[in-house]
Every structure is written in C-alpha cells, then in structure tokens.
C-alpha cells in the first residue's frame, strides 16, 4: 500500500525533475551515447537550461517539449523510453543515428507531437497503428530504416500531416488499398525504395494537395491510373522510375500543368510520346529513358522550352533528335 501511494504521488507531481529522470533512464539503457554528458542525475535541476538536445516549453520553461538528437551517434532502442512520462513533447528528432528494434506502441501517448523524424536508423518490425493516435502530427519521416509489413491505414489518414516520408524500407502493400484514405493536408509523399506490388496505391488519388510524389523503386506492374492526371493537378514533382510499369502515356499528362520534374525512366512504358507533351507545362526535367517508347521524336518537344534536362535514351525512337528538339536555351542531355 505504501509502495502504491509512493507511485501515485510520484505520478501526480510531474515535474522537470521527473522528466529528467526519465531521460537519464533512457540514456542509461542505450549502448552508446558519446555526446550526452549533460544528461545526468547530478545535473538534474538544469534540464531546461543546460541539457544538450532538449528544449523546454517556451511559456512555462518547466516541461520538455522538444528533443533534437539528429546525428548524435547514438545506438540502442526505444524500449527504455517512457513515452507516457513526456506528455508535452511536440518535437522528437532521432534522425541519422544507429537506433534499432521496433517502435513501442506506447509512442501513441505523445498526443501533442507535431514533428517525428526517425529517419536513417535501423528500426525494424511493423509501424504500430498507435502512431495514428498522434492527431497533431504534421511531419513524419521513417525514411531509410528496415521497417516491413503494411503501413497502418490509421497513420495514412492523420488529419494534419503535410510531410510523409516512408521511403527506403521494406514496406509491402496491404491486402486492400481501398481501406486507406488520404490525409487531406498531405503535400509531400515519399514511398520510394519499398516492396509495394503490384497494385498502384489507390488512396494516392485522393491526396488532392500533393505537390511531391516519389514512388520510384517499387513493383507496380500496371499502367498509370488515368485518374492521376485529373486528381493530382498540383503535382510539381513526380517520380515513377524503376516501378516496372507499362503501357502508353496518356495525352492527359499535360493536365499536370504545375509539373516541373517528371521522372519515369527504367520502366516498360511504350507507344509514342503524347503529341501534346509539354504544352501548357513548365517542365524542367523530363526523363523517360530506358523504356519501350517508339515513333518519331514528336515535334511537341519543341514546346518544352523550360527544360534543363531531358533523357530519351534507351528507347526505340527514330528520327533526328536535334531537329525535333530545335534550339533549347539551356539543355543538358
Ligand atoms: C529556463 O529556466 C532556467 C532555470 O531553470 C533558466 O536558466 C533559463 O534561462 C530559463 N530559460 C528561459 C527561456 O526562460
Ligand atoms: C505538461 O504541461 C502542463 C502545462 O504546461 C503541465 O501542467 C504539466 O505538469 C506538464 N507535464 C509534465 C509531465 O511536466
Ligand atoms: C541511411 O542511414 C544510414 C545510417 O543509418 C546512413 O549511413 C546512410 O547514409 C543513410 N542513407 C541515406 C540514403 O540517407
Ligand atoms: C538492420 O537490422 C537488420 C535486422 O536486425 C539486420 O539484418 C541489418 O543488417 C541491419 N542493417 C544495418 C545497416 O545495420
Ligand atoms: C489544400 O490546399 C488548399 C490550397 O493550398 C488549402 O486551402 C486547403 O486547406 C488544403 N486542404 C487541406 C485539407 O489542407
Ligand atoms: C501484375 O502482377 C500480378 C501478380 O504479381 C499479376 O497477377 C498480374 O497479371 C500482373 N499484371 C500485369 C499487367 O503484368
Ligand atoms: C525522384 O524524383 C524527385 C523529383 O525529381 C527527386 O527529388 C527524387 O530524389 C527522386 N527519387 C529518387 C529515389 O531518386
Ligand atoms: C483523358 O481524361 C478524360 C476525362 O478527363 C477521359 O474522358 C479520357 O478518356 C482520357 N484520355 C485517355 C487517353 O484516357
Ligand atoms: C533498364 O531498366 C531495367 C528495369 O528497371 C533495369 O533493370 C536495367 O538495368 C535498365 N537498363 C539501363 C541501361 O539502365
Ligand atoms: C515491354 O513491353 C513490350 C510491349 O509493349 C513487350 O513486348 C515486352 O515484352 C515488355 N518487356 C518487358 C521486359 O516486360
């Protein structure tokens, strides 16, 4: 009973001291912490003033709100991290360390989290669906880890996220993409270098505010859904390189009038290039190299006056390329 009361009172008197103890406990659970000498029990009362990588709440200056450990050369897991004891955390940046193991589902208790970056570590396992409880999240990167399984649909439908980077993992397609809806605020989506196959993720067609979409290095074996050209009209950057896709390119491509960079090299797209390619567009990069395109270089290429880079090699085009292109202001082949 005494022990229980002690635990209760500890919980009630949440304070920077408790948070400092929680962080020291986590630090002590890690294998390697070369740059965290300031995180120590002897320095426990200076959490908000002298601790490296820790920022306290600007108004109260008593509770930890931001932790920035990017590039701190840390090694270890998150299993000693008491998420529930850091309820005021808004930013957690662990990018570019050597963390490994799975993400504990308790991360879902960080209900004020806005920024979460676990990129460039070696986290494994599946992403806990509890990430979907982080309703304030705006920026989420798990880029360049070893996650696998399907991305939980709860994570894809977070209401405030604008930046989502799950590239460079072993994520696979879920049984049904139809269970997924897009977060309406999303503008940046990177799913490159994963194991998505074969169906094109249909939820992306509902991400009407996307400006950046990178799906390169996956295994979609079909054609580009026609709805992409009408639903994603804000796209500026589209990368479908190395996706094992096929079929002809639709003339509706030119509806993507905001497109600046279009990379679709190293697939098996075929047919002729759309005769209206570039009309009404401001493309600076066009890469369709290493596909099965054929036909004469279309004169429409003369409309691509804003191009700085074009890759047409590795296809079955015929005709004179310099004649087709005309004189470009600033073109590199
Ligand atoms: C926060 O409090 C510490 C002492 O606990 C003080 O040294 C520091 O200057 C304060 N910072 C701000 C921004 O008020
Ligand atoms: C979180 O912030 C609130 C409001 O500033 C404060 O009352 C509470 O004690 C803080 N929690 C912890 C664990 O410091
Ligand atoms: C991936 O992460 C490792 C560290 O875990 C880093 O060395 C490497 O540069 C990262 N690669 C990319 C492409 O960011
Ligand atoms: C990441 O972890 C997996 C599984 O533990 C391991 O097989 C792989 O070698 C690790 N990769 C790196 C870059 O450490
Ligand atoms: C989509 O973008 C428009 C304009 O940029 C913005 O007004 C709108 O609020 C955005 N939608 C959401 C759900 O964020
Ligand atoms: C795509 O792959 C799936 C299975 O991996 C196969 O059933 C389907 O026929 C393929 N479609 C095309 C167009 O190759
Ligand atoms: C895909 O293309 C985009 C836009 O051109 C670019 O920023 C990105 O780095 C490319 N992705 C890869 C994996 O090269
Ligand atoms: C282009 O889009 C329109 C609808 O916006 C559709 O009717 C037409 O079939 C599409 N063109 C092709 C080649 O699919
Ligand atoms: C052409 O694309 C295929 C499929 O992605 C790839 O395996 C091959 O290496 C590429 N060839 C060249 C010359 O880039
Ligand atoms: C690419 O597509 C063409 C027809 O469009 C087909 O004949 C060829 O077999 C395909 N190549 C590969 C590697 O799938």
Tell me the pLDDT tens digit for each residue of 272-315.
999 888 888 899 999 999 999 999 887 778 778 888 999 999 99
Global pTM reads 0.91
Whether ligand 8 lies within 6 angstroms of the CB of 52 is answered as no
Q: Whose CA is nearest to atom 12 of ligand 8?
A: 250
Tell me the C-alpha distance between 69 and 96, whole Å: 9
Q: What is the pLDDT of residue 327?
A: 62
Question: What are the extents of the domains in the chain?
Answer: 1-170, 233-333
**Which residues fall within 8 angstroms of residue 153, CB to CB, at 6 or more apart?**
132, 174, 179, 180, 181
Whether ligand 4 lies within 6 angstroms of the CB of 300 is answered as no
Whether ligand 4 lies within 6 angstroms of the CB of 146 is answered as yes
Kindly give the distance from the C-alpha atom of residue 206 to the centroid of ligand 5, in angstroms, as a whole number. 13
Q: What is the pLDDT of residue 298?
A: 75
Q: What is the pLDDT of residue 328?
A: 58
Domain 233-333 has CATH 1.10.3720.10: no
262 contacts 284 by C-beta, under 8 angstroms: no
Kindly give the distance from the C-alpha atom of residue 122 to the centroid of ligand 4, in angstroms, as a whole number. 6
> Contacts from 188-191 at CB under 8 Å and sequence distance 24+?
188/162, 188/163, 188/164, 188/212, 189/164, 189/165, 189/213, 189/214, 190/143, 190/164, 190/165, 190/166, 190/214, 191/166, 191/167, 191/215, 191/218
Whether ligand 8 lies within 6 angstroms of the CB of 250 is answered as yes
Tell me the pLDDT tens digit for each residue of 99-126.
999 999 999 999 999 999 999 999 999 9
167 contacts 214 by C-beta, under 8 angstroms: yes
Whether ligand 4 lies within 6 angstroms of the CB of 148 is answered as no
Q: Which segments of the chain have a pLDDT < 50? A: 1-13, 333
Q: State which fold the 1-170 domain adopts.
A: 3.80.10
Give me the count of residues in the chain.
Answer: 333
Whether ligand 8 lies within 6 angstroms of the CB of 251 is answered as yes
Q: What is the pLDDT of residue 9?
A: 41
**Which residues fall within 8 angstroms of residue 188, CB to CB, at 6 or more apart?**
162, 163, 164, 165, 210, 211, 212
Whether ligand 7 lies within 6 angstroms of the CB of 130 is answered as no
Ligand 9 binding pocket mutation candidate from 220, 290, 314 (most atoms within 8 A of CB): 290
Q: What is the pLDDT of residue 180?
A: 94
Does residue 176 sit in helix, strand or coil? coil
Kindly give the distance from the C-alpha atom of residue 177 to the centroid of ligand 2, in angstroms, as a whole number. 39
Domains 1-170 and 233-333 equal at CATH topology level: yes
Q: Provide Rg for the chain, Cα atoms.
A: 25
Minimum-distance ligand 2 atom for the alpha carbon of 14: 13
With 0-12 CB in 10 A as exposed, 13-18 as middle and 19+ as buried, what is 265? buried
Q: Whose CA is nearest to atom 1 of ligand 4?
A: 122
Q: What is the pLDDT of residue 301?
A: 80
Q: What is the pLDDT of residue 305?
A: 82
Q: Which two tokens stand for residue 226?
A: 């026609």
Whether ligand 7 lies within 6 angstroms of the CB of 237 is answered as yes
Q: What is the pLDDT of residue 6?
A: 45
């Amino acid at each position: 009973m005494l022990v229980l009361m002690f635990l209760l009172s500890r919980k009630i008197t949440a304070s920077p001291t408790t948070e400092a103890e929680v962080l020291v406990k986590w630090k002590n659970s890690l294998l390697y912490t070369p740059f965290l000498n300031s995180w120590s029990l002897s320095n426990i009362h200076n959490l908000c003033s002298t601790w490296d990588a820790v920022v306290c709440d600007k108004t109260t200056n008593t509770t930890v709100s931001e932790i920035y450990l990017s590039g701190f050369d840390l090694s270890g897991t998150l299993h000693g991290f008491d998420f529930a004891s850091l309820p005021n955390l808004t930013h957690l940046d662990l990018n570019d360390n050597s963390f490994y193991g799975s993400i504990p589902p308790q991360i879902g208790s960080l209900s004020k989290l806005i920024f979460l970056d676990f990129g460039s570590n070696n986290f494994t396992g599946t992403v806990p669906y509890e990430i979907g409880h982080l309703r304030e999240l705006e920026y989420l990167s798990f880029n360049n880890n070893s996650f696998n399984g399907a991305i939980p649909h709860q994570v894809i439908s977070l209401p405030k996220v604008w930046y989502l980077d799950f590239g460079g993992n072993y994520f696979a397609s879920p049984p049904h993409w139809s269970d997924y809806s897009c977060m309406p605020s999303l503008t940046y989506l990177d799913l490159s270098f994963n194991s998505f196959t074969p169906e094109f993720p249909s939820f992306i067609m509902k991400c009407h505010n996307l400006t950046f979409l990178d799906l390169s290095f996956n295994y979609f074996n079909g054609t580009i859904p026609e709805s992409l050209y009408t639903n994603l009209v804000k796209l500026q950057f589209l990368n479908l390189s190395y996706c094992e896709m096929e079929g002809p390119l639709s003339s509706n491509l030119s509806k993507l009038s905001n497109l600046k960079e279009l990379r679709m090299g190293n697939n098996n797209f075929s047919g002729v290039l759309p005769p209206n390619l570039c009309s009404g567009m401001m493309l600076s990069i066009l890469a369709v190299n290493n596909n099965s395109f054929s036909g004469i270089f279309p004169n429409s290429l003369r409309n691509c006056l804003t191009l700085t880079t074009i890759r047409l090699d590795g296809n079955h085009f015929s005709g004179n390329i310099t004649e087709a292109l005309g004189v470009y202001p600033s073109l590199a082949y």
